[in-house]
A and B are shown apart, each in its own frame.
Chain A
């Protein structure tokens, strides 16, 4: 019996003399007439997968020198040098603060095995994969990319891939999105009309405004702040956006133009993000928001939106409304800048590079908005569902007052306050404002203190840093 099986197997294995050869010939003939799928590389470039592990890009501003990447790297190919610098205390009588300053960040791509552990492990989103892979060198030493080069790669990093349809956004109740969208719709027409209302929009419908968030952060600090809380619900983004934008098309155009001009915000953004990153903003006192505006003003001198609009009472707060319309997708930004650049007579390479930068910025804005959303959203489930949030009432909800008052009071003040405003003056001013509003003494003092701290940091960030820096990076 077993012998029979063996025999049959034997026979199956040998279908006959030369049959295999004929089969081989048939395969070759088939391939001869098949359409050839070769991509002629230097001429034609393959559209690589968005997750391609090409090169690792460094977002220097996000790096806190925590050394996790260097420690986790199996090849030990990441070199980090840093020094500590002392900043003045936040409040009077406090301890001076220490801060890590990145002096060197280098990845030796001759050693790197592209495992991506560093990208995975980075807790501050400072490392990203880029699809670029054409960085071969004649000299192996050139393969060690210093932080300048690694930062340049950031321009080629793609935005994170979209979530799947119906996927739950981490850290957020999934049902909040539609309700919030409804809130936005009711809220924003008013926003276009009066200067005050956008505040309520931001406050109440925070999570419902990804549309804004996608485009917004470009425009300036105030705008960034308004938009940051949004964008948690990408699905809801498209629907409310065009509708809300309709009331103020003229403004939208204006803002768009401004947006085109202001290309330098990118550098300011990370700071903004860091401020917003923690639970700080969720805590949400008015003074803090104010102060942030103040503090950021000096740190973002390039930001045209901030510097160019000194009488902002009307312009700045109303910006959120038209911004929705912009809805600038990264690809649109790319195309637009490319077009502009080529019209302006830039060389193709420069034009392309700038367009890429614009695209990356647009992408980054979206990413940041998305990233910021869960933190913002957590404490605001209540107002998000309430359509009545459109009314600018301060005492409405636990968190509502915060962002609401922000544009209301902070926007004018932010612009009014000079970059180097004295912390003490800020303290006094905020205290007065708080009292005028009827906050309790304790709250008023606390907020004023917070404002002073922020003002101090904002004003002092330039000074001491430089002084320490000159002392020597190897402290």
Chain B
């Protein structure tokens, strides 16, 4: 055996490299799943040609096509901000993957404040959206960006509060610690409150990603593509499609970690322990992605005022009540 000793920095670099490969590939696969699931749910076939077998290379082909497109920056746009915005949107999404434990030891950096890091980094993207909207010098883009910002403020709260409840239950902000603290069955942990927290988190996550039914910022019937109206080529794909899919997978992974027991087997049963945690994590994340897409395809879009009302009048009070209930559970529960 050849002993390969790597310094911490080298290990970190390898891990980052893996993330840089896995996340785009995952985003491509996620895009394909999105196409196909949507098509079949709507009784269509979706892509069938690209790559031969059931259009498996469709997203790849799309990516290549966008790469060849001209990168147009509007004359009246704030050029530096305009070109920087997609990166500001996409990089935080990549950073989300740094703290998600794929297995007990398979994590780029198990930060003690992992959950806090997630929530903090996850909100940076909204700055990118605002930058894109403002610098485009386009009314649709600006309205879309403002809607997006308003939506992020409104729906960040339910996410933060439900995550806070989980952190209270686990007694730690480390994501590995949270996974370890969870008992079966995960989403009913503790009974009732867990499920409510999970749904709350789902709603918040979908709103934060501007997925339907919370896709008012990019409502194409009134705003073209919202903040991304003026974007073309690679900037468009990274700022919009790619970031969206990667974001969706990241949130699915976060949901898995916080509510579904992460890399743990579905049921605490001895033989199932043999199956590696990566696989469990993958299965659960896939389920989460499916769920997000399923909701996304079935629900009609909310109107802007409905969207805000739903957050401020329903979700946020509910999350506050759930925080109280969680506290009560910790104090007086078994």
**Seed contacts A31-B42, A32-B41; 12 additional CB < 8 Å A-B pairs:** A24-B299, A25-B298, A27-B298, A28-B41, A28-B298, A29-B41, A29-B294, A32-B37, A36-B40, A36-B44, A38-B44, A40-B48
Shortest CB distance A357–B (Å): 35
**Number of B residues with CB within 8 Å of any CB on chain A:** 13
Q: Which residue of B lies closest to A23 (CB)?
A: B298
CB-CB under 8 A from A31, the residues of chain B are 40-43
Q: Is B312 an interface residue (CB 8 A)?
A: no
Q: Which 4 A-B pairs have the closest CB atoms?
A: A28-B41, A24-B298, A25-B298, A38-B45
Q: Is B295 an interface residue (CB 8 A)?
A: yes
Q: Is A45 an interface residue (CB 8 A)?
A: no
Q: Is B241 an interface residue (CB 8 A)?
A: no
Q: Is A21 an interface residue (CB 8 A)?
A: yes
Please tell me if the beta carbons of B299 and A36 are within 8 angstroms of each other in the complex: no
CB-CB under 8 A from B295, the residues of chain A are 25
- Bound CA–CA A24/B41 (angstroms): 11
Please tell me if the beta carbons of B294 and A25 are within 8 angstroms of each other in the complex: yes
The 8 A CB mask of B14-50 against A (1 = contact, 0 = none) is 0000000000000000000000010011111100100
What band does the interface of chain A fall in when counting residues whose beta carbon is under 8 Å from B? 10 to 19
Q: Is A37 an interface residue (CB 8 A)?
A: yes
- Bound CA–CA A34/B44 (angstroms): 11
- Bound CA–CA A27/B43 (angstroms): 11
The 8 A CB mask of A162-177 against B (1 = contact, 0 = none) is 0000000000000000
Please tell me if the beta carbons of A34 and B298 are within 8 angstroms of each other in the complex: no
Please tell me if the beta carbons of B294 and A34 are within 8 angstroms of each other in the complex: no
- Bound CA–CA A25/B297 (angstroms): 8
17 contacts between A and B (CB under 8 A): A21-B299, A24-B298, A24-B299, A25-B298, A27-B298, A28-B41, A28-B42, A28-B294, A28-B297, A29-B294, A31-B40, A31-B43, A34-B43, A36-B45, A38-B43, A38-B44, A40-B45
| Cβ < 8 Å to B, chain A residues 36-62 | 36-38, 40
Please tell me if the beta carbons of B43 and A37 are within 8 angstroms of each other in the complex: yes
- Bound CA–CA A25/B300 (angstroms): 11
- Bound CA–CA A40/B44 (angstroms): 10
Shortest CB distance B323–A (Å): 23
CB-CB under 8 A from A38, the residues of chain B are 43-45
- Bound CA–CA A38/B45 (angstroms): 7
Interface residues of B (CB under 8 A from A): 37, 40-45, 48, 294-295, 297-299
CB-CB under 8 A from B45, the residues of chain A are 36, 38, 40
- By secondary structure, the A interface counts as helix
Q: Tell which of B41, B45, B48 has the most Cβ of chain A within 10 Å.
A: B41
CB-CB under 8 A from A21, the residues of chain B are 298-299
- Bound CA–CA A449/B298 (angstroms): 84
- Bound CA–CA A241/B33 (angstroms): 61
Shortest CB distance A95–B (Å): 69
CB-CB under 8 A from A32, the residues of chain B are 37, 40-41
Q: A21-B299, A24-B299 known; A36 and B43 CB under 8 Å?
A: yes
Q: Tell which of B37, B44, B48, B298 has the most Cβ of chain A within 10 Å.
A: B298
Shortest CB distance B144–A (Å): 25
CB-CB under 8 A from B299, the residues of chain A are 21, 24
- Bound CA–CA A34/B45 (angstroms): 12
Q: Which residue of A lies closest to B37 (CB)?
A: A32
- Bound CA–CA A265/B109 (angstroms): 87
Q: Which residue of B lies closest to A30 (CB)?
A: B41
Q: Which residue of A lies closest to B295 (CB)?
A: A25
CB-CB under 8 A from A28, the residues of chain B are 41-42, 294, 297-298
- Bound CA–CA A40/B46 (angstroms): 11
Shortest CB distance A176–B (Å): 52
CB-CB under 8 A from A29, the residues of chain B are 41, 294
- Bound CA–CA A28/B42 (angstroms): 7
- Bound CA–CA A216/B41 (angstroms): 55
- Bound CA–CA A257/B334 (angstroms): 96
Shortest CB distance B303–A (Å): 15
- Bound CA–CA A80/B48 (angstroms): 46
Q: Which residue of A lies closest to B48 (CB)?
A: A40
Shortest CB distance A218–B (Å): 44
- Bound CA–CA A36/B37 (angstroms): 12
CB-CB under 8 A from B48, the residues of chain A are 40
Shortest CB distance B288–A (Å): 15
Shortest CB distance A40–B (Å): 7
- Bound CA–CA A38/B297 (angstroms): 20
CB-CB under 8 A from B44, the residues of chain A are 36, 38
The 8 A CB mask of A241-275 against B (1 = contact, 0 = none) is 00000000000000000000000000000000000
CB-CB under 8 A from B42, the residues of chain A are 28, 31
- Bound CA–CA A255/B77 (angstroms): 84
CB-CB under 8 A from A27, the residues of chain B are 298
The 8 A CB mask of A1-33 against B (1 = contact, 0 = none) is 000000000000000000001001101110110
Shortest CB distance A22–B (Å): 9
Q: Tell which of B37, B43, B48, B299 has the most Cβ of chain A within 10 Å.
A: B43
- Bound CA–CA A279/B212 (angstroms): 74
Q: Which residue of A lies closest to B44 (CB)?
A: A38
- Bound CA–CA A29/B294 (angstroms): 8
CB-CB under 8 A from B298, the residues of chain A are 21, 24-25, 27-28
Shortest CB distance B45–A (Å): 5
- Bound CA–CA A367/B43 (angstroms): 42
Q: Which residue of B lies closest to A22 (CB)?
A: B298
Shortest CB distance B32–A (Å): 15
CB-CB under 8 A from B294, the residues of chain A are 25, 28-29
